[in-house]
Amino acid sequence: MTAQSLQTPPSLTTAFPGGPRLLADIGGTNARFALETAPGKIEAIEVLACAAYPTLAAALVAYLASPTVAQAGVTGIRNGAIAIANPVTGDMVRMTNHHWEFSIEALRREVNFDVLVVVNDFTALASSLPHLSANQKHQVGGGVGIDGTPLGLIGAGTGLGVSGLIPGKDGWTALQSEGGHVTFSPANALEVAILQFAWKEFDHVSAERLMSGAGIELIYRALADHTGVPAEQLTPSDISRRALSGECPLCDAAIEAFCCMLGTIAGNIAVTLGAQGGIYIGGGIVPKLGARFDRSGFRERFEAKNRFKQYLSAVPVWVITAEYPAFVGVSAILSDRLAAA
């Protein structure tokens, strides 16, 4: 899948002195690549299926040799940055939700880059938050953010990403969090039943086990078991589609449970970080739910913290609707790294 360009604010036309830069956003399902030819000018976007390539290096080399890059007339790329859905704690990266693993330094040499930065994808996405325009996000519920206070970030897709932005005297600091792997905490008897069902398959049930594509399927099977309704063999996409079309009450119940659980976790992030600037929701699942998410129990559950209900009712929640927001964040991180070199 390809796209032509993505204009990011501020849009400048002066080319980089070191030439165009490679940007990448690697998830468990798709690898997204782009070129930043000038500050804020992101183009030659292409999305490759991770399963189609044995390694990240193979996907990256295929992109650099693709007609998309050739049509952009770009050669001699020397610097790049990769956001990846995985912890990045040293030179070796082993993906949690895919089989790719690589050495950052070996990959840099293989593609002949001067600088290659690799960061967690939600660290990169968090770095994009201050740059999102009004038409790149959609507010769910009320609340007005307080300037100069932390921002929280959560996003469900192949896995569950968590991060945040903490303000400081020199700007924002993006958290390198793995908060998606905290232990799941049920909020009512139905969620206790879902957790008990999940325990039959997993010794440790993290938030990500349920707040992800595979989690939607797990919730669906748990609700079928709980209600005595026969479960069909459905993919997460099947469940979402049937829920949105109104053709399957059990599928809709699974999506509703997912939204409510996400509300609890998002509220936890808000009070943990003191994220009075707002909570942002990324990932591939929630933006596709559209109006169904708006009318779900998410916002009510987000605020359901008893003595902290008033506190949370003032915190805005935004669904990120920008198509490729991680590119904006990883670009900022690369610019900072090159400026410090």
Distances (CA, A) of 9 to 26, 150, 192, 326, 338: 23, 21, 45, 14, 20
Is 96 annotated in a binding site? The answer is: no
d(CA 155, CA 83): 14
Please write the tens of the pLDDT for every residue from 19-72. Answer: 899 999 998 889 999 999 998 899 999 999 999 999 999 999 999 999 999 998
Please write the tens of the pLDDT for every residue from 294-315. Answer: 999 999 999 999 999 999 999 9
Is 29 annotated in a binding site? The answer is: yes
Q: What domains can be seen in the chain, in order of their start residue?
A: 2-127+324-340 (3.30.420.40), 134-321 (3.40.367.20)
Half-sphere exposure of 337 (CA within 13 A, CB side): 17
Is 224 annotated in a binding site? The answer is: no
Helices (H), the chain: 56-64, 67-72, 104-110, 121-128, 189-199, 207-210, 213-227, 236-245, 249-273, 286-289, 291-294, 298-303, 309-313, 325-340
Contacts of 340 (CB under 8 A, 6+ apart): none
The pair of structure tokens assigned to 35 is 């070129």
pTM to 2 decimal places: 0.84
112-116, 124-128, 168-172, 266-270 — which is least confidently predicted? 168-172
Strand partners, 183: 206
| 262-276 average pLDDT score | 98
Is 28 annotated in a binding site? The answer is: yes
Is 321 annotated in a binding site? The answer is: no
Which comes out higher in pLDDT, residue 150 or 172? 150
Is 294 annotated in a binding site? The answer is: no
